[in-house]
Amino acid sequence: MLLDMLRILVTLLLLGARVAASAAAISQEDQKRAWLILAWVSTTAGNLSLLGSAANLIVCEQARRAPNLSYTLTFWSHLKFGLPSTIIVTAIGLTLIR
């Protein structure tokens, strides 16, 4: 956890000044669109892989532990469904945002 926080801090320190300097050159409409795209892609990207979000791991573990299911979801079996659905949902969302 500390390592993750350190990575975020270093990234912000290195890129923060550049982002702040370029923010003045972006119109208000483009800025709003950029935030929408960032929010949409980061939200849907969690569905891409089993490790993409904590919810994926929780559901996977619950499915494995359930006595009536005893379903084992692997990284690759999740990716088989996660990749196409993430691409489709992201494409639809980006089309609507544009």
DSSP notation for 23-55:
HTTS-HHHHHHHHHHHHHHHHHHTTTSTTS-HH
CA distances from 85 to 15, 49, 60, 61 (A): 31, 11, 17, 21
Q: What is the pLDDT of residues 62-92, one digit of tens each?
A: 888 888 877 778 888 888 888 999 899 888 9
Locate the domains of the chain by residue range: 27-97
- Per-residue pLDDT of 11-61, as tens digits, reads 767 776 676 677 667 788 888 888 888 888 888 888 888 888 888 888 888
Helices 75-97/28-45 angle, 10° precision? 160
Q: Round to whole Å and give the CA distance between 68 and 2.
A: 39
Q: Which residues contact 94 (CB under 8 A, 6 or more apart)?
A: 37, 40, 41
